[in-house]
Amino acid sequence: MAHKCDYFLRFEIENENELVLINQACYKQDFEIQDYKYKLDIYKYNLTTKKAYVRYGNVHYVNLGGWLVDFPNEKCKTRYGYYYGYNSQIPLCDYEETSRINGLEYGRLEMSYDLIKDLFLKSKPELKYLLNKIDFYNPRMTIWKLLDLIDMWYLHPSEVETLAYLGFYNLATNKSLYRLGKTKKKEIINALKYFNDDRGMISLINVQNFIKSGMKYEEWYSYMCWNNWRTQGRYIDDIETFRYCQRKNIDKYRYHDMLAMASNQGHDIEDEYWKYPNDPNAMHDRLLETKKELERIEREKELEREKQYWVQLKKIAVKNKLDSGVDLGNGYTLFMPYEYEQYKKSADELHQCILASKYYSKVAQGKSLLIMIWHNGKPSSTCEIDFDKKILQHYGNELNREDCKPTEFEQEAIKKFLATFKPKKVAFKEVQI
């Protein structure tokens, strides 16, 4: 059967002097016991021949889950839909690749760096000077970065050794660096003296951007943080804007909030007065007060519009003689709602969106009519019709959308009512506020 395992990486020497990196799958049948019951080498990368070997037949790669492994000699041989193949004894070199692939992605290195270094020196003594210059305990020095450094060393030994000694691992493995002319390379090397922090992660493009900016390193570093820290690419400012904000002591988000408010209030934010005000913090506060006042005015306007709707709903119900309701018998009443409380009670008890979707405004504007049926004073169903008496929708309790039909009694009651009902429109002219 297939197991998701723990994976461990180790180096070994084969064929006297060939160094290989092996990925081993380990599975604990009982997770309360720390010892692994099953172990199987599933992947091997030969650093000497640059070839990778994968065990197929009982190892299957799944993009989101890593490796699934069938261990040899297990009694249970189950085939699942998400992987293929049966348990079988297949040698590790059954399938061969000419480069490193995903087989090394899953796995923890379980060897000391001193032991790894000894194995490298035994199989590749020419790497002695490079290995002595690498800080294996630097958190940026991963096993993958080490392999890349070694590959690049064979092409550019002196430059890789120098950059590795200084801790610039990303630069040392960047092919683009070695394609630059002597003058450009010299500029890069001279600029590296400023990049003391996070050296292992610094990229060639960052060093080139620093040189191109003409800024002092401290200002350039602040500028890079300004455009990247927590911005997630939303606001990329030019150097002029960055320097302005630094001089005026305004936070990046506060500055862009100021611009957004100015734009929403109809101002041209490309105008110097709005883009670079003398006191941006004071400008932000003034715009914020204006925003709050505009929102207050809009809320008052909305309340006035809402009042117009409810007045119109009462007129419509009265005109159609459905304000007091029609007795359907058996405790059922049919009526046309015109009060907020009627809408809210039906919305709450029947889990309907008639209030949230503002059906009352639709009815007030003469687009359709809404009829409710209540049973013993409680909402039972809601029906929307057009002025041709066509039923647009008729639902009971919508808590379960798969079963929210009204009762047969209510459906028949609506049909009988509509047979004699003559819907009447009421002219509505919304007062502009």
Domain count, the chain: 3
Same domain, 23 and 55: yes
Residues 6+ apart with CB under 8 A from 164: 130, 133, 134, 149, 172
pLDDT band for position 430 (50/70/90)?
confident
H or E stretch at 245? helix 239-248
pLDDT of residue 61: 55
Domain encompassing residue 66 = 2-109
232 or 296, higher pLDDT: 296
Whether residue 252 contacts residue 245, with contact meaning beta carbons closer than 8 Å, is answered with yes
What burial letters (b/e) apply to 172-195, b meaning 16+ CB within 10 Å? bbbeebeeeeeeeeeebbeebeeb
Whether residue 108 contacts residue 7, with contact meaning beta carbons closer than 8 Å, is answered with yes
Spell out where 65-146 has E strands: 66-70, 95-97, 108-109
- Pairing state between β 6-14 and 108-109: parallel
pLDDT band for position 89 (50/70/90)?
very low
Is there a domain that residue 226 lies in? no
Final residue of a domain: which of 109, 133, 158? 109
Same domain, 104 and 73: yes
Same domain, 90 and 132: no
Same domain, 75 and 149: no
pLDDT band for position 145 (50/70/90)?
confident
Same domain, 100 and 177: no
Is there a domain that residue 207 lies in? yes
Distance between CA atoms of residues 224 and 234, nearest Å: 14
Q: Is the pTM of this model over 0.75?
A: no
CA–CA distances in Å: residue 173 to residues 146, 149, 181, 385, 428: 10, 6, 17, 72, 74
Same domain, 105 and 129: no
The answer to whether residue 83 scores a pLDDT higher than 80 is: no
For 257-272, write each residue's pLDDT tens digit: 999 999 999 999 999 9
Weakest-pLDDT range from 97-111, 296-310, 393-407: 97-111
Q: Give the rounded percent of residues in the chain with a pLDDT score beyond 90.
A: 52
Same domain, 22 and 92: yes
Is there a domain that residue 45 lies in? yes
Using only C-alpha atoms, the chain has a radius of gyration, in whole angstroms, of: 37
Residue labelled with tokens 């191109």: 212
Distance between CA atoms of residues 68 and 60, nearest Å: 5
For 184-216, write each residue's pLDDT tens digit: 999 998 898 888 766 667 889 989 989 998 999
Same domain, 105 and 185: no
The answer to whether residue 80 scores a pLDDT higher than 90 is: no
Is there a domain that residue 426 lies in? no
Is there a domain that residue 128 lies in? yes
Query: What's 194's DSSP letter?
Result: G
pLDDT of residue 81: 36
Is there a domain that residue 249 lies in? no
pLDDT band for position 60 (50/70/90)?
low
Same domain, 326 and 349: yes
- Work out whether the CA dihedral 116, 122, 123, 125 comes out positive or negative: positive
For 156-187, write each residue's pLDDT tens digit: 999 999 998 888 888 999 999 999 999 999 99
Is there a domain that residue 286 lies in? no
Is there a domain that residue 219 lies in? no
pLDDT of residue 87: 40
